[in-house]
């Protein structure tokens, strides 16, 4: 049962509960990112799905900012060799504290946690946010991930590569239909053709919808080269990563 508020203190502050601390860190991080990006606070009254989309977009802008700062402020190896007095690492060259990189990971943890509790939000986020989510999940699974351009993806949105005992290359196509229409066999065949043309290990379809019967049968016939994860399958990925973070 949730404890009562202590007079003059917010819930959780008195006993230092983990939930209260996490929410406090989240609020502080939001304010820090907003100031770094010179952006206004999110308007009040947003629906949960709108709030989630806004946070994903802000996270993307923040990550782009970090990448740009790394390019600008990180010295090359030659420069570091010439200036032996500057014995600092790349991360220490950033204009913000090195622990801020860990907080970026905390943001994704927050989003994964939200989706685990409210699966319906998966259909509410934008298509690009869905692509970014799938890319992040595969990074958590241990893959090197490339998220392709929105305008020219070549029939696949994400390239995931793993170099282990056996090297593999997966092509991932994300489908986030605005309606409840199922994914038909034409989409599956096109993805399979891209996989064959690029000589990838396997092609994977990730969607917030479901597959038609013909599409399911096509995937089953080519199960060693083709895989499809519908709404339930994607949510299983989300819960797997969420459970991994809790441990």
100-117 vs 127-140: helix crossing angle, rounded to 10: 110
Assigned token pair, 76: 């090359």
How high is the pLDDT of residue 154? 60
Listed in order, strand segments (DSSP E) in 32-149 are 144-147
Domains and CATH numbers, the chain: 42-246 (3.40.1350.10)
Listed in order, strand segments (DSSP E) in 103-148 are 144-147
CB burial string 64-88: b at 16+ within 10 A, e below: eebeeeeeeeeeeeeebeeeeeeee
- Residues sharing a CB contact under 8 Å with residue 183, sequence separation 6 or more, in sequence order: 175, 177, 205, 207, 209, 210, 211, 212, 215, 228, 230
Burial of 29 (0-12, 13-18, 19+ CB in 10 A): middle
Instruction: Give the max Cα distance, the chain.
Output: 67
The C-alpha atoms of residue 29 and residue 114 are separated, in whole angstroms, by: 17
How high is the pLDDT of residue 117? 85
One digit per residue, the tens of pLDDT, for the chain of length 247 reads 444 544 554 444 545 566 666 667 767 777 777 788 888 887 777 777 777 777 778 777 877 777 776 665 555 555 544 443 333 333 333 333 333 444 456 677 778 888 888 888 888 888 888 888 899 899 899 999 988 876 555 668 899 998 888 889 999 999 998 888 899 999 999 999 999 999 999 999 999 999 999 999 999 999 999 999 999 999 999 999 988 765 5
The C-alpha atoms of residue 147 and residue 209 are separated, in whole angstroms, by: 21
Q: Provide the β-strand partners of residue 53.
A: none
The C-alpha atoms of residue 172 and residue 66 are separated, in whole angstroms, by: 26
- Supply the DSSP symbol for 138: H
The pTM of this model reads 0.60
How high is the pLDDT of residue 112? 86
Length of the chain, in residues: 247
The C-alpha atoms of residue 135 and residue 219 are separated, in whole angstroms, by: 22
How high is the pLDDT of residue 179? 80
How high is the pLDDT of residue 182? 94
């Amino acid at each position: 049962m949730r404890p009562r508020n202590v007079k003059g203190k917010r819930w959780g502050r008195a006993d230092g509960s983990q939930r209260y601390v996490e929410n406090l860190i989240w609020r502080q991080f939001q304010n820090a990112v907003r100031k770094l990006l010179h952006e206004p606070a999110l308007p009040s009254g947003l629906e949960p799905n709108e709030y989630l989309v806004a946070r994903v977009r802000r996270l993307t802008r923040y990550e782009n900012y970090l990448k740009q700062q790394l390019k600008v402020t990180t010295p090359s190896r030659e420069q570091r060799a010439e200036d032996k007095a500057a014995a600092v690492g790349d991360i220490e060259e950033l204009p913000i504290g090195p622990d801020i990189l860990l907080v970026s990971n905390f943001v994704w943890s927050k989003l994964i946690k939200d989706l685990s509790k409210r699966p319906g939000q998966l259909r509410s986020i934008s298509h690009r946010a869905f692509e970014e989510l799938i890319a992040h999940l595969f990074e958590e699974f241990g893959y090197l991930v490339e998220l392709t351009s929105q305008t020219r993806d070549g029939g696949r949105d994400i390239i995931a590569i793993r170099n282990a005992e056996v090297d593999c290359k997966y092509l991932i196509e994300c489908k986030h239909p605005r309606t409840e229409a199922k994914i038909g066999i034409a989409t599956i065949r096109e993805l399979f053709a891209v996989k064959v043309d690029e000589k990838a290990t396997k092609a994977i379809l990730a969607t917030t919808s479901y597959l038609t019967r013909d599409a399911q049968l096509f995937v089953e016939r080519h199960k060693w080269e083709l895989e499809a994860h519908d709404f339930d399958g994607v949510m299983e990925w989300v819960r797997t990563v969420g459970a991994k973070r809790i441990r």
